[in-house]
């Protein structure tokens, strides 16, 4: 089996429109949450989200492509271009067949779907955009990225709710390991802060309603948490076969060493009791990596700030990690970025690699009232400088999807 390394990354979050600015916000404990600007919230119970700010899609594609693609696709394209530039990877006719694209989204082109329904009802069926389908469907993102970059290798989109881009990175890793590609552009994108999505998540009692203090609303593992905060964002990685990367003189950022993927077979929204599904995903990732729980230096938790999720994930970590659960630093960066749904796994995978490279663990902000059921080291409120050689990223999704990824400091 081939070794798989990370050679480039791209990131857009509510904290910044590139990796550098997003990382600066994360390690400084800054919240990206604020009042919603995308639509009139006066008839909604929830008035805030972690929106992307001042993003210019035309910096990454011509204006014709901007008009023909949904905003979630804009984010996928932007982070791909950032990652390719970071990796200094040029896709040519000679290598295109060996470079693939796996990009996922939990919801896809919801902005376009919302807008085109209004067109249908207000102006009639003949005014629906001929680009509507390609703008709405989730495989539109890997499709347009392939077209714009020339990558002709394996190409598909994953959908597993909030575990989606954990799956795209994990499956890209497996694709390279088994020899079906030399390099993969892998990640996820989400832009679902729309009135219909916010109303739906609120009506299922998933969202925080802390309108008085929106920047403190996302508070994973805190006893006063009352739901997640919707976020927008995208994360992208360039994964490469080690020998392919070395042959072209690539700068290697980290190695992907483990991937576990399981299903709960339990409930449509709630995690399985005790976190059984997540336990099995983490265990598989560790086994594939040839590592023990005590080898893990940092866990980027799924940590959504919903009451059942945080306590269940904590229980799962305790069960698998034993006494080491109380020594390993854990943080939920959703406390700052909000929950980016299908993009979360990729966003947080990028953060794990950054922690390895920089020796800094971002904090869990807004953690002021310890929950007795959540009694581990969640790196509260301030970043921590420490050596991170092995980082684990956990993702869980509605439907009972669980993903665990393990990144390791690269060594010859």
**9, 253 Cβ separation under 8 angstroms:** yes
Catalytic residue among 74, 261, 339, 374: 339
**393, 352 Cβ separation under 8 angstroms:** yes
Q: Is 331 exposed, middle or buried (0-12, 13-18, 19+ CB in 10 A)?
A: buried
Residues in CB range of 303: below 8 A, 6 or more apart: 220, 221, 309, 310, 313, 330, 331, 332, 334, 335, 364, 378
**99, 154 Cβ separation under 8 angstroms:** no
Catalytic residue among 74, 261, 302, 352: 302
The verdict on whether 267 is a catalytic residue reads: no
The verdict on whether 374 is a catalytic residue reads: no
Contacts of the segment 319-322: beta carbons below 8 A, 24+ positions apart: 319/274, 319/275, 319/279, 320/279, 320/282, 320/283, 320/293, 321/293, 321/294, 321/296, 322/293
Catalytic residue among 74, 162, 261, 352: 162
The verdict on whether 339 is a catalytic residue reads: yes
Residues with a known catalytic role: 162, 302, 339
């Amino acid at each position: 089996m081939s070794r798989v390394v990370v050679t480039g990354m791209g990131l857009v979050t509510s904290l910044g429109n590139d990796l550098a600015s997003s990382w600066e916000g994360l390690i400084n404990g800054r919240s990206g949450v604020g009042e919603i600007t995308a639509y009139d919230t006066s008839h909604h119970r929830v008035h805030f989200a972690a929106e992307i700010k001042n993003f210019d899609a035309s910096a990454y594609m011509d204006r014709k492509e901007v008009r023909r693609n949904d905003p979630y696709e804009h984010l996928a394209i932007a982070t791909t271009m950032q990652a390719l530039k970071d990796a200094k990877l040029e896709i040519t006719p000679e290598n295109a067949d060996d470079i693939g694209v796996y990009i996922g989204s939990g919801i896809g082109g919801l902005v376009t779907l919302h807008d085109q329904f209004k067109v249908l009802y207000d102006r009639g069926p003949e005014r629906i955009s001929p680009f509507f389908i390609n703008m709405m469907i989730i495989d539109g993102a890997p499709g347009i990225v392939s077209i714009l970059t020339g990558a002709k290798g394996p190409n598909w989109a994953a959908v597993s709710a909030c575990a989606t881009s954990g799956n795209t990175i994990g499956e890209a890793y497996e694709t390279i390991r088994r020899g079906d590609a030399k390099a993969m552009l892998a990640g996820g994108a989400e832009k679902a802060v729309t009135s219909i999505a916010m109303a739906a998540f609120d009506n299922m009692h998933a969202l925080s309603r802390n309108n008085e203090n929106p920047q403190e609303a996302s508070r994973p593992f805190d006893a006063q948490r009352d739901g997640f905060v919707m976020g927008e964002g995208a994360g992208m990685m360039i994964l490469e076969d080690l020998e392919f990367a070395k042959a072209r003189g690539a700068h290697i950022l980290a190695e992907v060493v483990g991937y576990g993927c399981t299903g709960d077979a339990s409930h449509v929204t709630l995690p399985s009791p005790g976190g059984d599904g997540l336990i099995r995903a983490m265990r598989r990732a560790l086994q594939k990596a040839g590592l023990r729980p005590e080898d893990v230096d940092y866990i980027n938790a799924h940590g959504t700030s919903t009451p059942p999720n945080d306590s269940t994930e904590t229980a799962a970590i305790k069960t698998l990690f034993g006494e080491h659960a109380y020594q390993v630093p854990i943080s939920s960066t959703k406390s700052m970025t909000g929950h980016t749904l299908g993009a979360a796994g990729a966003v947080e995978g990028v953060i794990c690699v950054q922690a390895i490279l920089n020796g800094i663990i971002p904090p869990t902000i807004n953690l002021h009232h310890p929950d007795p059921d959540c009694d581990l080291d969640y790196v509260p409120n301030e970043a921590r400088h420490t050596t991170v050689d092995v980082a684990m990223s956990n993702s869980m999704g509605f439907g009972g999807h669980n993903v665990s990824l393990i990144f390791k400091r690269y060594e010859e």
